[in-house]
Amino acid sequence: MSGHILLVQNTILYFPVHFVLRFLGIIMKNIPLITALLFLLLAACESTTEPTVTVKTDARDYVLAGGVGTELVFLLSRTDVDTNGIKTVVPSDTMFLTIVARDSAHPVGGLSVVVQEKFVRAGASTPYGGDTSFYSSTSNEIRYYKNYLDNDARTLLKNPLNAGAEWTDTSVKSGTMKKFTIQSVGETISTTFGQFTGIRTLTQGSAMINSVLYSEKTTYYYAPEVLLARREEIVENTYPSTKKDTRTTITDLIRYTKK
């Protein structure tokens, strides 16, 4: 009987001719399919496993999303360091932000998202403070009013959303100015709730109050839909004796329920 002999690891294997011819025939008939499979395999190996992240670069993309009842919950962790360098960790507060209206008119800001703010201390169930704030958006910026009668808005984001862009808010009441700088666009923001891609801004200010130099440095992390995802605030008081005390507060998103 004719056939082919194959030597594999010192073992002689015998394949009949008809078996070899049949195997080759199967391969020839399926060359297009085999070629396509090999192409897909190579393409999969060459492609990255990281998903494509689209960075939002218009201020309007960061307006609070969701309908009435949408809730964002933040944990506020605070650490104090006194003039002797002694550190104290203050029990954490919880901040609740709940959307109570959309497209509601503010006397100065115009159509706004209305949010009920509520703060609860650690271990307590009764809120100790809060207000009804207004988030106004135009084609160019997002502004924050702490209540209906407030005309001293703070500009949270302003186009163009480019790293290095700056704007200045001037207080109507005091005349003091505060400069905001976009430090990063496409920033990876890590929170307890989850990870976002957004904008990091920085604001710094200082003032002399009763011979005490007050300085504030706040970093804001903004993300689409939730707007504020994280905030890091450092407040420092420098006394005439040159001693200092510091308060650091971290605001971290822990829950987001969209309606």
Calpha distance 251→246 (Å, rounded): 16
The yes-or-no verdict on residue 13 having pLDDT over 60 is no
The answer to whether the CB of 116 falls within 8 A of the CB of 123 is no
The answer to whether the CB of 249 falls within 8 A of the CB of 95 is no
Half-sphere exposure of 59 (CA within 13 A, CB side): 19
Asked if omega into 160 is within 30° of 0 (cis), the reply is yes
Q: Which fold has domain 59-257?
A: YmcC-like fold (2.40.360)
| pTM recorded for the entire structure | 0.78
- Give the mean model confidence (pLDDT) for residues 125-140: 92
Calpha distance 243→247 (Å, rounded): 14
Q: What is the DSSP secondary structure assignment for residue 51, as one 8-state letter?
A: P
For the chain, the structural domain boundaries read 3-46, 59-257
**Summary count for the chain: helices (H), strands (E):** 2, 14
Choice between 9 and 255, residue whose per-residue pLDDT is larger = 255
Nearest CA to 201 out of 248, 157, 235, 234 is that of 157
At 140 the pLDDT is 93
Q: Which amino acid is at 67?
A: G
- Hunting for tokens 């703070």 — which residue is that? 154
- Hunting for tokens 């949408």 — which residue is that? 70
The pLDDT tens digits of the residues spanning 60-82 come to: 999 999 999 999 999 999 999 99
The yes-or-no verdict on residue 226 having pLDDT over 80 is yes
At 18 the pLDDT is 53
